Structure 1
């Protein structure tokens, strides 16, 4: 059930996110029953890497522009791909496949000149380019484009190749109800992410259930329903029942008639539907977020499961909440030879949390504090776009401010949530059609640069939809994460309220391989009981199974079925070799990280970036100087 796939080094595939059909056909040719062939997706690019951008309309060099976000996203994907290649061993990769990539996308990718790159841009090229890698011909499965995911699942299950055929028979995707496998439920968002999900399901020999996606408005509806459901003790019973019925309808429209009792586990590939609230965690369950790089999430989960651990954990607790939870977690981790960094009380500042999350090496991060939707302001602002046109926007802003130790400077972290433009509800899709392409960037630039005098405050200190936070001793952390665990791929247990959604995305996008959060408010005693039961079992079985055993601790309370696990079914926590070895690993990693950032600082000219790196170096140096064996 929980065997971990190995990584196939014959092929390394990069696909255009929009080329769903072409990617699926290629996946049928490069699939291996004995290992997982890495497939990574690349979003569209509006500009090539070295193409000059007209910045004549920008107010300053660091303004957001219409191409800047596209270029930053492509650069980031390129770094992730290069890191993945290095981790596998670039010399060990036999073939790199580009599937439907545009010239702009390819401009961000760099490979050694000796790399065998196979470019496939058309369905007719797949057989010619890839069939020769097999010693014998395989059976061809004709498939209609609208059934390409069903076709891929059947083809990989039987070791066949796919061919697109408009006159093909309807494909039936039978379930194997033998009780010996898991099932993967996949929301089809018509990108290449579901292709990768089917590809992964075939690799772990799981059945596949395809369901319809939910749009952006539907996702917001779910978030609002969960907020109401979490407050069910404060509303009348009829309204609480109505809320649950709405959530149940969304879930049952997708999996209502499906019987999970024949399966060992289920993993949901979703943009945010809380299936287990309705299924009541009847079998071990996990989630993969379709908006948090599922391609890299699968890859790093497999990679990390077969890698050596640091033997390090961080516990964050600003108010010494639930001492028995913290004491039990600390004792359990100590018994497993982990070196434990404790960020407690007055030291549990936003800066220390942020630095520890991003630059401290760890395998597990346990957060015990308050969380949820942050409070902020609703603002109206008049601004001009890059073409000189006047607009009025309405947006929500959430700002956290903390003092930098030993300095007179303040750390400011701010988020902006556009609500209206010129009196109409803000929608990126609508404004892409009716406004200049720069409008989104212009709005954000105006919001971030506006002075207090320029803003008209419509509402102050109100809960902001879509916001999130982790409460620190001095202010809030809003989940804005650029790095994670000094390059490790840890498991995060955020045992705070409303911690499954937006706050989770920061960790998932940055490189964690497992994340535990809650759908709504959790009572302190229930949170402690769940955590204690989880840690009692998590070193003897996969994380998913330990969560399944801990869920009954919430039964009969307001927190029943509130815990959600973003992760794969086989992900586990390992016992460290020894405490001495764990301490040595932490010290080595801190020193390496310090030298790395020191080298980056010397090579940069940008003053703001150098100041940011100076703060990182200061924090790392303090950690190194204070580092000593912890009891």
Structure 2
């Protein structure tokens, strides 16, 4: 009803209020709406609680609850009664929505059989969306419409097979595996899962997928990826918002090199980015400690972040818990645990980040969807989380294991960094380039959930020469091109067009770029640091009386900003002239 050519209709799911971070769920949505400059918000189909939470946070007078009996009036006001109503079935609804948008029709869902034929592209771009999340199909249709794209809906991929294919990429460099043969096998299977796709000459692709890097199987076209769940709508908003007229560019870059691997790409970026008038801050060697990087990733205001280190699943422990849940049932929960460790101001205190992966519940493998169909979960997981949060439950058994799947830690100078950011870049929406080996599988989802607007990672290991060659092309020859195209062209140049060794995969909306805009960067950074200092100190003071643990965390955030503000003022405002892009080492 609201579709306009060349415009994106922003659709978000409601906040998941059963999560522990329910407040953050609402904040992430209002932040996304603010980024894209939304003037009016329509609330439709939300629970009364979600309705109340969102209404309380949105501007009064610009938030409207939409009921079914209002739809005809809205459609008429937007000129969408020119053609007969399109009747559609209850599946592949994204195809129906996009057809209706292109035809300026209303759509009504009923018992009809949905068409499976794709909607053809009008611009050369094609969107391929995996079924299984109906709202994601609607969002995919809106995304396709905004780009004049076609849309294919493919069958949902079996969960077990998805994990097997990702594991195959993860293990492609292990002894006994013929890497080129295995890459061809995976590529063939991915293409089978997608099926036949009409690829216009000179066209491009967006894959909206649950887990799989389908674009790696289509090297003949530039492609990008988005995840069907969670928060597909927010991810698209973050990407589109950054490319609107008048928005800042990627003016501030941070480079991270803990010197755990040879990183010539960092040296190249140190030279190339200032030539583009990008302000560069570097964390190298002992300066790239877990604490320094954890604080920077969350709190420093950057637009582009480049990592050069080793990434992989960490060793850890398998813990077994036995407890009685709130329904009175005896439960046996087995979880795998990995940790990241950082220093604090207290020499006798370390900050430990834990990663939990459920292994089994009551003897049933948690990662086997077939076995889980007969498992009664009830309140077991929620109760365990409450016990864990309150330190009220100890494991009855512990054993060491060689790998905690999905932990995806990154080696820093002192310890493993376990990326689980609360937010990124002082509530910003940056671009992340991660040259660490096998850094796409888990980290793409984590960084996008934390509001990265684009993430480039690897499916398997890359050499230092490859990393340098790809990064140099991204930051030099293809700077300013759409990022998916730039990455595709860079890999063509490094690996040869059509070759099967293409380790890099990008996630994020297609039309976004590395670009620079005129800005007094030091003044902007100082302003953001000062604002963060005041905000987090005020929040810490408000929590101190009733929640000392939370207040301590907020105090540490305020202290980071105080330290950075003083350092930045001394470095840039004491005696140096402003207005020039520089390297901050």
TM-score, with normalisation over the residues of structure 2? 0.89
- The 3 A distance-change label for structure 1 pair 582 and 33 is same
Asked if residue 262 in structure 1 is aligned to residue 211 in structure 2, the reply is no
Q: 1:317 Cα deviation (Å)?
A: 0.6
Residue in 1 that maps onto 2:361:
421
Q: Choose which of 188, 198, 209 in structure 2 pairs with 1:248.
A: 188
Q: Choose which of 120, 139, 152 in structure 2 pairs with 1:209.
A: 152
Residue in 2 that maps onto 1:620:
561
Residue in 1 that maps onto 2:575:
none
Q: Choose which of 135, 140, 161 in structure 2 pairs with 1:197.
A: 140
Moved over 6 A (4+): 428-433, 448-453, 556-559
Asked if residue 286 in structure 1 is aligned to residue 224 in structure 2, the reply is yes
Q: Choose which of 425, 435, 440 in structure 1 pairs with 2:381.
A: 440
Q: 1:330 Cα deviation (Å)?
A: 1.0
Q: SS of 1:511's equivalent?
A: coil
1:410-430 CA distance string (max 9 Å, x none): 111001111112222126987
- The 3 A distance-change label for structure 1 pair 156 and 607 is same
Residue in 2 that maps onto 1:182:
125
Q: SS of 2:566's equivalent?
A: helix
**Following superposition of structure 1 onto structure 2, how do residues 181-580 of structure 1 map, counting pairs within 5 Å?**
181-231=124-174, 234-237=175-178, 241=181, 244-245=184-185, 248-255=188-195, 257-279=196-218, 281-306=219-244, 307-309=247-249, 311-319=251-259, 321-405=261-345, 407-426=347-366, 434-435=375-376, 437-445=378-386, 454-458=395-399, 460-555=400-495, 560-577=501-518
1:560-607 CA distance string (max 9 Å, x none): 2110001222101122426xx111111111111111111211222311
Q: Choose which of 64, 67, 82 in structure 2 pairs with 1:117.
A: 64
Q: 1:108 Cα deviation (Å)?
A: 1.6
- The 3 A distance-change label for structure 1 pair 166 and 292 is closer
- The 3 A distance-change label for structure 1 pair 132 and 552 is closer
Residue in 1 that maps onto 2:88:
143
Q: Choose which of 81, 84, 94 in structure 1 pairs with 2:32.
A: 84
RMSD of aligned C-alpha atoms?
2.8
- The 3 A distance-change label for structure 1 pair 216 and 201 is same
Query: What is the rounded CA distance, in whole Å, between the counterparts of 1:377 and 1:136 in structure 2?
Result: 59
**Following superposition of structure 1 onto structure 2, how do residues 2-151 of structure 1 map, counting pairs within 5 Å?**
29-42=1-14, 45=17, 67=18, 69=19, 72-73=21-22, 75-87=23-35, 92-93=39-40, 96-110=41-55, 111-115=58-62, 117-120=64-67, 122=68, 125=69, 127-135=71-79, 137-139=81-83, 140-151=85-96
Q: SS of 1:34's equivalent?
A: coil
Residue in 1 that maps onto 2:529:
590
- The 3 A distance-change label for structure 1 pair 553 and 269 is same
Query: What is the rounded CA distance, in whole Å, between the counterparts of 2:97 and 2:299 in structure 1?
Result: 40
1:70-105 CA distance string (max 9 Å, x none): x634x3332123223444556x32xx3222222232
- The 3 A distance-change label for structure 1 pair 292 and 532 is farther
| C-alpha contact 1:518 1:564 (8 A) present in aligned 2 | yes
Q: SS of 2:351's equivalent?
A: strand
Query: What is the rounded CA distance, in whole Å, between the counterparts of 2:500 and 2:551 in structure 1?
Result: 45
Q: SS of 1:109's equivalent?
A: helix
Q: 1:172 Cα deviation (Å)?
A: 4.3
Q: SS of 1:175's equivalent?
A: coil
Moved more, 531-540 or 549-558: 549-558
| C-alpha contact 2:341 2:415 (8 A) present in aligned 1 | yes
Query: What is the rounded CA distance, in whole Å, between the counterparts of 1:528 and 1:499 in structure 2?
Result: 16
Structure 2 portions without partners, runs of 5+: 573-581
Structure 1 portions without partners, runs of 5+: 1-28, 46-66
1:116-160 CA distance string (max 9 Å, x none): 51422x5xx364342232257321222222342222121112222
- The 3 A distance-change label for structure 1 pair 43 and 621 is closer
Q: 1:297 Cα deviation (Å)?
A: 1.1
- The 3 A distance-change label for structure 1 pair 606 and 538 is farther
Residue in 2 that maps onto 1:160:
105
| C-alpha contact 1:357 1:484 (8 A) present in aligned 2 | yes
Q: SS of 2:381's equivalent?
A: helix
Q: 1:344 Cα deviation (Å)?
A: 0.8
Q: 1:346 Cα deviation (Å)?
A: 0.6
- The 3 A distance-change label for structure 1 pair 168 and 379 is closer
| C-alpha contact 1:416 1:444 (8 A) present in aligned 2 | no
Q: SS of 1:615's equivalent?
A: helix
1:37-90 CA distance string (max 9 Å, x none): 211112665xxxxxxxxxxxxxxxxxxxxx4x2x634x3332123223444556
Q: 1:523 Cα deviation (Å)?
A: 1.6
- The 3 A distance-change label for structure 1 pair 236 and 389 is closer
| C-alpha contact 1:469 1:503 (8 A) present in aligned 2 | no
Query: What is the rounded CA distance, in whole Å, between the counterparts of 2:404 and 2:80 in structure 1?
Result: 59
TM-score, with normalisation over the residues of structure 1? 0.82
- The 3 A distance-change label for structure 1 pair 378 and 592 is same
